[in-house]
Amino acid sequence: MVGPMSRFVRFVFAAALVPAAASPGVETAYADAALIARGHAIAKYNCSHCHAIGRTDASRDLRAPPLRALSRKYPLSGLEESLAEGIMVGHEGLQMPHYQLSPAQIEALLTYMASIQVK
């Protein structure tokens, strides 16, 4: 006969195994969330002076397109080289500041930008 304590011990043991089996996906989700958060911070620091950096905000300068809409004009992966070499683009008379990002910063920024794109 199985008593309440024995059932409790089996339950606790079984529950302890579930997170171990699910951890790779959970770790990936946390890593993705951390990368997106770093990308948001980079966008806020470098881009938000002119561009809308969120899903619904408006650009401070109407000549600067929202980051969420960039994939309508350009493949985001195409921005990788420009960001590494120092992006220098003009928007209808508005000259962007010269930004040069590290590979880790580029990965984070592009991951964030991909997470907010609208079709």
Buried b (16+ CB within 10 A) or exposed e, 4-15: eeeeeeeeeeee
pLDDT tens per residue across span 66-108: 999 999 988 888 888 888 887 766 555 556 777 788 999 999 9
Task: Find out whether 81 and 7 touch, Cβ atoms under 8 Å.
Answer: no
Confidence of residue 9 (pLDDT cuts 50, 70, 90): very low
Angle (CA) 50-55-52 rounded to 5° is 5
Domain ranges for the chain: 4-116
Q: 6: which 2 tokens? A: 């024995």
Q: What pLDDT was estimated at residue 23?
A: 47
Mean pLDDT of the chain: 78
Count of CA atoms in the C-beta half-sphere (13 A) of 16: 6
pTM over 0.75: no
Confidence of residue 35 (pLDDT cuts 50, 70, 90): very high
CATH of range 4-116; options 1.10.760.10, 3.30.1490.100, 2.40.30.20, 3.30.420.10: 1.10.760.10
